[in-house]
Amino acid sequence: MFRPCIAALAFAVAALAAGRARGDAFPDPFKLYGHDIAFSVWRKGTEIGEHRVTFARQDGALVVRSLLDLAVKFLGLTVYTFHYTCVETWRGDRLDALTSTIDDNGTKTAVDAKAKDGTLDVEGPEAHERIARFILPSSHWNAEVIGADRVLNTLSGKISGIKLEPLGVESVPVGSATRQAMHYRYVADFAAESWYDAEGRWLKLRFPGKDGTEIDYVCERCAANP
């Protein structure tokens, strides 16, 4: 009984990757998540912060706000902090604007992207790009990234070529329950792993910290109808 369920999930998640080619509608985050997503963030078995994404409608646009706050302590003293905010403005299925600010233990950088003459002008600490407006930021909430071949890196401003390699179906904690999700590894100029369920909900993230230690996101609230 379990293997057919896994096969069905794998097929459903793969279908998400083909959605844009079929002309499917842009994902509705309110149906998937409600008004927000919340993850606790862990390192070596210790909770070090929170990542939250909120969704709102403003003047006919979808506004997505991401906030990440991390603090690593040693012997009761804070030895490292990381603060990140990102605001995406979408009109239909096109990214209209994006701003992100990063405070990496006191080093501050920013990325700014604005629609102009049918393209998107991007300024960041590592790049100045002019690109087509249909591109996904590296904010993970939109499962269409499964079929994408590039993303706008919201930390650097670079356009990163990517491929998501499926690693299999796993049970992922979601609040007090679990959900089946496909585990993906990014093949890109940055390292990350991400998990999505059959409906396209982002349920988990893993990436290496600056010292190589794994950072894990644990879903506290990431489904409108868990």
A 10 A CB-CB count for 25 gives 8
Q: Write out the E strands in 105-147.
A: 107-116, 119-124, 127-132, 136-137
Question: Residue 215: inside a domain, yes or no?
Answer: yes
Residue 70 has pLDDT above 60, yes or no: yes
The contacts of residue 2 (CB under 8 Å, 6+ apart) are: none
- Overall average pLDDT of the 76-104 stretch: 94
- Residue 44 token pair: 């070596």
Query: What gap in Å lies between CA 171 and CA 7, rounded to an integer?
Result: 14
Question: Residue 88: inside a domain, yes or no?
Answer: yes
Question: Residue 56: inside a domain, yes or no?
Answer: yes
The contacts of residue 211 (CB under 8 Å, 6+ apart) are: none
Question: Residue 139: inside a domain, yes or no?
Answer: yes
- Which CATH number do you get for residue 81? 2.50.20
With contact defined as beta carbons under 8 Å apart, do 152 and 162 qualify?
no
> Per-residue confidence at 51, pLDDT binned at 50, 70, 90?
very high
* Dihedral angle computed from the Cα positions of residues 160, 82, 177 and 32, in that order, rounded to the nearest 10 degrees: -50
Question: Residue 226: inside a domain, yes or no?
Answer: no
> Per-residue confidence at 128, pLDDT binned at 50, 70, 90?
confident
More confident residue, 193 or 189: 193
Question: Residue 49: inside a domain, yes or no?
Answer: yes
> What is the value of pTM for the model shown?
0.87
Residue 104 has pLDDT above 80, yes or no: yes
Look at the chain and report how many structural domains it folds into. 1
- Overall average pLDDT of the 43-70 stretch: 96
Domain of 97 in residue numbering reads as 2-221
Question: Residue 142: inside a domain, yes or no?
Answer: yes
- Overall average pLDDT of the 208-225 stretch: 88
CA nearest neighbour of 184 among 171, 205, 165, 200: 165
With contact defined as beta carbons under 8 Å apart, do 155 and 82 qualify?
no
Question: Residue 151: inside a domain, yes or no?
Answer: yes
